[in-house]
Structure 1
Amino acid sequence: MFHEAKQQFVQYLQTEKNYSSLTIEHYIHDIDKFFLFLLKEGVDALEEVDEIHAKLFLMQLHQDKYSRASVSRKISSLRSFFSYLQREEKQRTNPMSYVLHPKKEGRLPHFFYENEMEQLFLVCDGEKPLDLRNKAILELLYATGIRVSECTSIHLQDLDLTMGTLLVKGKGRKERYVPFGDFARNAIKHYVEEGRPELVKRDGMTSLFINHRGEPLTARGIRYMLTNLMNKTTLTASIHPHMLRHTFATHLLNNGADLRTVQELLGHSHLSSTQLYTHVTKEHLRKTYNSFHPRA
């Protein structure tokens, strides 16, 4: 009973919602955890699930020391699952509608300052094929703010080096065009003309970024590459690809870009997602003021 309902929901996410495989994996993980909890509670039919079970599950998550973000994601996943069952008339009520999301921790996204970015660019100079590729990736991530999954899915035909634009295939199969400047254009051109041909090992390969085996570069490969670059600098912070997305947005806003433009460039569906970066820039202004104003 549980398995059949889950499989139908997964098909709905794939066909109607066009969610990525990674997003669907998160849904499956959250639903499976709830099913396991129900079985331990002696519940073997979805019709028996009520708000008491939902609240007990929430208590269990808190006891297991799950973060607020993880708890909130599980609530959202299960609320969507039961809403789908309601729509299909397989469930009369949504037990998760009685559960409130935990208050967000309010952590600000980490980003690099401009001088820190300069250090990263300096250490990836080199003329070997992988050096050219790494610099092109770093320049492009910083120039466009694209997600690492969007970076790994770029094909040669998505690039327009003359216009300095990139066709990005984002979440939910949404497409958008993003511009990039001369630094990224030159780095990509150098890589495509002199580095990439030495990495490609078979005809018909259209992926822009290639690993040393001649295969399309993965998100894990980009994370590994960035970590290696970071280790060559004097910086002490850790790095992950999303930090470059945060840096892109923060630097734009710090230099006067309007919020709606940044929203469009990032591919955010809702302005509220982009507004998070205004808090980052306000914090930056506050620290600058406290550091330099004589009566701060």
Structure 2
Amino acid sequence: MRITETNTLFFSQTLAYLDVYLPSQRGYSPMTIDSYRDALTVFKHFVEEELHETVFSFCFKDCTRDCVYRFLESLKHRGNSPGTRNQRLATLKSYLEFVSQTNISIVPIYIEAKRIHAVKNPEKEKEVLSEAALNAIFSEPKNDRIGIRNKTLMILLYDTATRISELLNIRLSDIHLKKEGSYIIVTGKGSKQRPLYLSEKTVNHLKYYMSLYHPDDTDSSQHLFYTTIRGMKGCMSVGNAERIIKQYAKAARKKCPEVPANVHPHMFRRTLATQLYQEGTSLVLVSSLLGHSNIETTRCYAKPSEEMLRNAILSIQPSTEHQMTKKWKDQKEDCKRFCGLR
């Protein structure tokens, strides 16, 4: 039997897709690429466990529309949310599009997959932290070396509205502390850099932290937040930072019921962005602070406050009422005729 191009092994191009195409041609960040890698890994597990195939037997021709639908149904049974299922589907479509650019026989397979619609994903109102909840969480760290590190991390996370990965990637060379206008340089998605200015209180916390953790550091490439394992300093992991925040939020919830059940690093970013918008900061400036390349991405943070809604309603209320005046006076016959009476 003649071997056709569609008999090419499905996973034969994943390395080039993940390690060359996504970072070099699409400019995706390492964390974004990791999400694509995870999606393809989950699909591989589906192929092995439910289709009883291997990476050495599953071909592109086997990735039919029915196969993809079965994969999505499997994800649903495993309890994956609509958003997660949509991300897995988008990854498959992206991968098939990449392969079809160099292998024309894959185009029909890509077109069939592209016709599969994403699952409807109802928008849920995303929680933000109230002022009381923020104060409760910030009050939890002890005034010891570890506590000061953890409190500084959370304060910077909130005050700069950075993504947790951006904050943990900050190095000493990115910090510029001056008498006026102290700021840090953050590298966001697509390796885009942006300056983020710090409040005076945050600068004081940062200086105190650095006096403990970087008193004599001459290596400007050192990460601002680090952990020491077997005597070696390394960048603090996202998972470690998440555990720290969840630990303090759990303790703070016992004292302040306003602390949400599931506090995560991104909630600090969302809280500041929402507060800025509600206080009158333009969406363009909020978008710039967050490092969004498209202002539409920022609109999810544009949640109006009750005061903004009330003022909007009051602004359209008429200030005066037009009084009706009589068009006639003491004309009884005309009045009777007008009312259809005798």
Kindly indicate whether the alpha-carbon contact (under 8 Å) linking 1:129 and 1:199 is maintained by their aligned counterparts in 2.
no
Q: Distance in 2 between matches of 1:170 and 1:58?
A: 31
Kindly indicate whether the alpha-carbon contact (under 8 Å) linking 1:199 and 1:210 is maintained by their aligned counterparts in 2.
no
Query: What amino acid sits opposite 2:177 in the alignment?
Result: L
Q: Distance in 1 between matches of 2:76 and 2:159?
A: 40
Query: What amino acid sits opposite 2:174 in the alignment?
Result: D
Alpha-carbon distance, 1:19 to partner: 2.9
1:161–1:30 Cα change, 3 Å: same
Query: Which of 244, 247, 252 pairs up with 2:271?
Result: 247
Q: Deviations over 1:178-233 (max 9, x none)?
A: 2221121111011112x214798x97761111336554322222222223322442
Query: Which of 23, 38, 42 pairs up with 1:14?
Result: 23
Query: Secondary structure of the equivalent of 1:257?
Result: coil
Q: Which residue of 1 aligns with 2:32?
A: 23
Q: Which residue of 1 aligns with 2:186?
A: 168
Kindly indicate whether the alpha-carbon contact (under 8 Å) linking 1:139 and 1:183 is maintained by their aligned counterparts in 2.
no
Does residue 277 of structure 1 match 2:301? yes
Does residue 143 of structure 1 match 2:159? yes
Kindly indicate whether the alpha-carbon contact (under 8 Å) linking 1:166 and 1:179 is maintained by their aligned counterparts in 2.
yes
Query: What amino acid sits opposite 1:96 in the alignment?
Result: A
Q: Distance in 2 between matches of 1:119 and 1:271?
A: 32
Q: Distance in 2 between matches of 1:72 and 1:259?
A: 28
Does residue 218 of structure 1 match 2:237? yes
Percent identity (aligned)? 23
Deviates further, 1-10 or 12-21: 12-21
Kindly indicate whether the alpha-carbon contact (under 8 Å) linking 2:29 and 2:190 is maintained by their aligned counterparts in 1.
yes
1:212–1:98 Cα change, 3 Å: same
Q: Distance in 1 between matches of 2:27 and 2:214?
A: 34
1:226–1:199 Cα change, 3 Å: farther
Q: Which residue of 2 aligns with 1:181?
A: 199
Q: Distance in 2 between matches of 1:33 and 1:220?
A: 20
Q: Which residue of 2 aligns with 1:107?
A: 124
Q: Distance in 2 between matches of 1:198 and 1:223?
A: 26
Superposed, 1:200-215 pairs within 5 Å as 206-211=222-227, 214-215=233-234
Query: Secondary structure of the equivalent of 2:226?
Result: coil
Kindly indicate whether the alpha-carbon contact (under 8 Å) linking 2:173 and 2:221 is maintained by their aligned counterparts in 1.
no
Kindly indicate whether the alpha-carbon contact (under 8 Å) linking 1:130 and 1:212 is maintained by their aligned counterparts in 2.
no
Query: Which of 53, 73, 77 pairs up with 2:67?
Result: 53
Query: What amino acid sits opposite 1:250 in the alignment?
Result: T
Deviates further, 74-83 or 56-65: 56-65
Q: Normalising to structure 2: TM-score of the pair?
A: 0.73
Query: What amino acid sits opposite 1:175 in the alignment?
Result: Q
Flag the structure with more relative contact order, 1 or 2, with Cα contacts below 8 A and sequence separation at least 6: 1
Q: Distance in 2 between matches of 1:265 and 1:96?
A: 37
Q: Normalising to structure 1: TM-score of the pair?
A: 0.84
Unmatched 5+ stretches in structure 1: 290-296
Q: Distance in 1 between matches of 2:256 and 2:100?
A: 52
